[in-house]
Amino acid sequence: MSTSLTGLPFDDFRSLLARLPGPDEVAVGKVRHRDRQLTKPAGSLGELEGYVEWLAAWQGKAPPRVDRPLVAVFAGNHGITAKGVSAFPASVTQQMVENFTAGGAAINQICVAFDFGLKVFDLALHLPTPDITEADAFDEAGCAATMAFGMEAVAGGMDLLVIGEMGIGNTTVAAAIYHALYGGTAEDWVGRGTGVDDEGLARKRAAVAAAVARIGDARKDPLEVLRRIGGREIAAMAGAILAARFEQVPVIIDGFVATAAATILHAMAPGALDHCLIGHISAEHAHREAVRRLGKRPVLDLGMRLGEGSGAAMAAAVVKGAAAIHAGMATFTQAGVAEKGA
Ligand SMILES: O=C(O)c1ccc[n+]([C@@H]2O[C@H](COP(=O)([O-])O)[C@@H](O)[C@H]2O)c1
Ligand SMILES: Cc1cc2nc[nH]c2cc1C
């Protein structure tokens, strides 16, 4: 967004959600028109055709382009790690950020393979959010500032945004968000994350149940759920997804944790994720149910559960391919190919 958002009051996010721009139906019509002329049987590119329409709708452009895709990885630390909820120590968040910078992580290789930009945003890693079983993650100003930071990350003219994260302990935070918003039991939403053993899983379930019980009726207000049991990278991802809508940048969301950030927006306004695809179904078991509740059909289902935007970036390669096919193919007339029934 062009203006500085720092200092945006917490409640202003509610009004932003109430005035979301809609799709560009003219651009969608142009894509459909061109698609009918391309040298292929109608419908033969299956869901790829839908991805091109989706890109056009939210870029406001036909043909849509995927020339400058960006993977944004938001990193945060979580006080809940003190409860023994992860298979890895909290220090791994910072170490993995260094690995991203050095080019050694999975996401680096995906970005090199497909020529995607990569930006890593580390959010006060030295300052974990409080243990959410005991205290709120943020005060209102802190939550708003972190969402605004995420919004400001959507600058620089990307034409597709891939949202990913890194944060030891954050599958516990994500599970608490789903449990708060969607009910059920803690068991329904908790999985093994980076690979906790059975004792770790039991600690995780207890932590999620305690965090959600602590906030009581506040669970009915999605923005309060984010403030009270969220985390820095999750608030920043919610801000980035929201800003992308206003900046005409379609978004591809990664797995279990990135989807939890998106879910906050969806719970505030059901159309808030219309400019988003869910890149893949994570192997974290509750992700499938979370995605079902968003009414989304994920691009890929590869059994991945890494995070760092990796599944969504693989999906972005599919979407980039779809855009290239649509923009580059010859028409029947151009290629001198006979049309159906001619
Ligand atoms: O995105 C997913 O579906 C996903 C599933 C399991 C683990 N992760 C990643 O693993 C980290 C959190 O796992 P944990 O066990 O520490 O809560 C964090 O860095 C996530 O990116 C991510
Ligand atoms: C090594 C490692 C890499 C990761 N990338 C995203 N989350 C991660 C968690 C761990 C533990």
Note down pLDDT in tens along the chain; length 342 residues: 445 666 788 989 999 999 999 999 999 999 999 999 999 999 999 999 999 999 999 999 999 999 999 999 999 999 999 999 999 999 999 999 999 999 999 999 999 999 999 999 999 999 999 999 999 999 999 999 999 999 999 998 999 999 999 999 999 999 999 999 999 999 999 999 999 999 999 999 999 999 999 999 999 999 999 999 999 999 999 999 999 999 999 999 999 999 999 999 999 999 999 999 999 999 999 999 999 999 999 999 999 999 999 999 999 999 999 999 999 999 999 999 999 998
Which residue's alpha carbon is at the smallest distance from atom 6 of ligand 1? 193
Judge whether 53 lies within some domain.
no
Judge whether 58 lies within some domain.
no
Distance, CA of 22 to CA of 248 (rounded, Å): 10
Q: For residue 38, report the phi and psi dihedrals to the nearest 5 degrees.
A: -75, 150
Judge whether 41 lies within some domain.
no
Judge whether 26 lies within some domain.
no
Is the minimum distance from the CB of 282 to ligand 1 under 6 angstroms?
yes
CATH classification of the domain holding 168: 3.40.50.10210
Could you tell me how far CA 285 lies from the centroid of its own chain?
17
Q: Checking phi first, is residue 100 left (phi over 0); if not, alpha (psi -120 to 50) or beta?
A: alpha
**pLDDT (tens digit, 9 = 90+) per residue, 145-157?**
999 999 999 998 9
Distance, CA of 144 to CA of 253 (rounded, Å): 21
Which residue's alpha carbon is at the smallest distance from atom 22 of ligand 1? 307
Pocket test for ligand 1, best of 92, 99, 131, 171 (most atoms within 8 A of CB): 171
The domain of 183 spans: 68-324
Q: Which residues lie across from 280 on neighbouring strands?
A: 300
Please tell me the distance between residue 104's alpha carbon and the centre of ligand 1 in angstroms: 18
Pocket test for ligand 2, best of 73, 88, 108, 257 (most atoms within 8 A of CB): 88
Annotated catalytic residue within 224, 284, 308, 339:
308
Is the minimum distance from the CB of 59 to ligand 1 under 6 angstroms?
no
Judge whether 153 lies within some domain.
yes
Check: complex ipTM more than 0.95? yes
Number of domains present in the structure of the chain: 1
Is the minimum distance from the CB of 78 to ligand 1 under 6 angstroms?
no
pLDDT at 186: 98
Q: Is 152 an annotated catalytic residue?
A: no
Please tell me the distance between residue 134's alpha carbon and the centre of ligand 1 in angstroms: 22
Judge whether 121 lies within some domain.
yes
Please tell me the distance between residue 297's alpha carbon and the centre of ligand 1 in angstroms: 21
Q: Where are the beta strands (DSSP E) in the chain?
A: 69-75, 117-122, 160-166, 251-253, 276-278
Is the minimum distance from the CB of 255 to ligand 1 under 6 angstroms?
yes
Contacts of 135 (CB under 8 A, 6+ apart): none
Quick check: 131 and 80 in contact, CB under 8 A? yes
Judge whether 30 lies within some domain.
no
Q: For residue 278, report the phi and psi dihedrals to the nearest 5 degrees.
A: -90, 120
Please tell me the distance between residue 257's alpha carbon and the centre of ligand 2 in angstroms: 13
Is the minimum distance from the CB of 87 to ligand 2 under 6 angstroms?
no
Please tell me the distance between residue 212's alpha carbon and the centre of ligand 2 in angstroms: 26
pLDDT at 1: 45
Is the minimum distance from the CB of 96 to ligand 2 under 6 angstroms?
yes
pLDDT at 7: 74
Distance, CA of 166 to CA of 190 (rounded, Å): 18
Judge whether 203 lies within some domain.
yes
What is the position in ligand 1's atom list of the atom closest to the CA of 171? 17
**pLDDT (tens digit, 9 = 90+) per residue, 16-28?**
999 999 999 999 9
What is the position in ligand 2's atom list of the atom closest to the CA of 165? 6
